[in-house]
């Protein structure tokens, strides 16, 4: 567990001005009675190594968002098994023993699906090919998915997802952005990992009615995609849901160093975090 002297935390990324992480994480530490400070810092991959190298003993941990979830990997002294499994880390715990990396996106996505009543998946359609897409692919595997269609603006970037699919035992097919699935198979879930406002795909009404949409974006919300799902009465899991569930994992790590160890009165802490969103 990190030293009690370590009271500083931050979320890093670019752009970061829209992040709600400071609000929900600060709410969690107030609920836990911890005098920790959590801020947002604009950060690029080029600047990340120097930033991490100069963190002093007042720092407890970092949350990482795009584009840093892969850039952090060479800087880690220890990795949770999920980090190597996914190839991305979104959480850093700073200890006397070194820099420890974790991935809470997978668990957060699984919990968000389950909270929405989705207990299992077979086929999924993933939009985007970045680090978050890798975590959501593994989350789909955790829920039993056997096949995934990936739509990527740059299909070459999705090679890593195809390789990940081979390791995970899930059939991954990559298509260029906007190219339809000729099989006409309706997926159990459409998972968008595209930043808010950047998704211009149009889905048939039959897909929007039958598939649950998991849209990781939350700024702006609702996204154009989420609005189109709502027009048909389709089910939508929002980026807010993923944000809270993955943040619970981060708070667990920052408090105890253990992703699996529940927080003291965790339901009350989660309620405080959700309250901060409103």
d(CA 165, CA 175): 15
pLDDT in tens, 42-95: 999 999 999 999 999 999 999 999 999 999 999 999 999 999 999 999 999 999
Structural domains of the chain, ranges and CATH numbers in brackets: 8-104+241-277 (3.40.50.10860), 117-234 (3.40.50.720)
Q: What pLDDT band is residue 197 in, cutting at 50, 70 and 90? A: low
Torsion over CA: 114, 228, 124, 138 (sign): negative
Mean pLDDT of the chain: 94
* Beta carbons of 240 and 18 less than 8 angstroms apart: no
Contacts of 197 (CB under 8 A, 6+ apart): 217, 220, 223, 224
In the prediction, which pLDDT does 32 show?
A: 98
Torsion over CA: 160, 163, 165, 171 (sign): positive
What's this model's pTM, rounded to 2 decimal places?
0.93
Poorest-confidence range of 191-205, 216-230, 260-274?
191-205
**Hey, which residues are catalytic here?**
69
* pLDDT at residue 2 tops 80: no
Q: What pLDDT band is residue 231 in, cutting at 50, 70 and 90? A: very high
pLDDT in tens, 12-47: 999 999 999 999 999 999 999 999 999 999 999 999
pLDDT in tens, 109-157: 999 999 999 999 999 999 999 999 999 999 999 999 999 999 999 999 8
In the prediction, which pLDDT does 198 show?
A: 72
* Beta carbons of 32 and 255 less than 8 angstroms apart: yes
What's the whole-number mean pLDDT along residues 168-191?
A: 89
């Amino acid at each position: 567990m990190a030293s009690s002297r370590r009271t500083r935390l931050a979320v890093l990324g670019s752009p970061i001005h829209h992040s709600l992480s400071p609000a929900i994480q600060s709410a969690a530490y107030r609920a836990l009675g911890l005098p920790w400070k959590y801020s947002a810092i604009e950060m690029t991959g080029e600047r990340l190594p120097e930033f991490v190298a100069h963190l002093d003993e007042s720092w407890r941990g970092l949350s990482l968002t795009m584009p840093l979830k892969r850039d952090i990997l060479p800087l880690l002294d220890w990795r949770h098994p999920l980090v190597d499994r996914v190839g991305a880390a979104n959480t850093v715990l700073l200890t006397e023993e070194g820099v420890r990396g974790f991935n809470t996106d997978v668990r957060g996505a699984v919990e968000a699906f389950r909270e929405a009543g989705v207990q299992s998946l077979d086929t999924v359609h993933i939009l985007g090919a970045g680090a978050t897409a890798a975590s959501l692919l593994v989350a789909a595997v955790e829920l039993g998915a056997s096949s995934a269609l990936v739509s990527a603006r740059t299909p070459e970037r999705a090679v890593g997802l195809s390789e990940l699919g081979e390791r995970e035992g899930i059939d991954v097919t990559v298509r260029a952005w906007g190219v339809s699935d000729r099989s006409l198979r309706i997926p159990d879930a459409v998972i968008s990992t595209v930043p808010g406002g950047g998704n211009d795909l149009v889905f048939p009404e039959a897909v929007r009615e039958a598939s649950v949409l998991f849209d990781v974006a939350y700024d702006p919300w609702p996204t154009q995609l989420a609005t189109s799902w709502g027009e048909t009465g389709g089910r939508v899991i929002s980026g807010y849901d993923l944000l809270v569930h993955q943040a619970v994992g981060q708070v667990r790590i920052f408090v105890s160093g253990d992703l699996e160890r529940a927080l003291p009165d965790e339901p009350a802490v989660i309620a405080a975090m959700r309250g901060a969103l409103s």
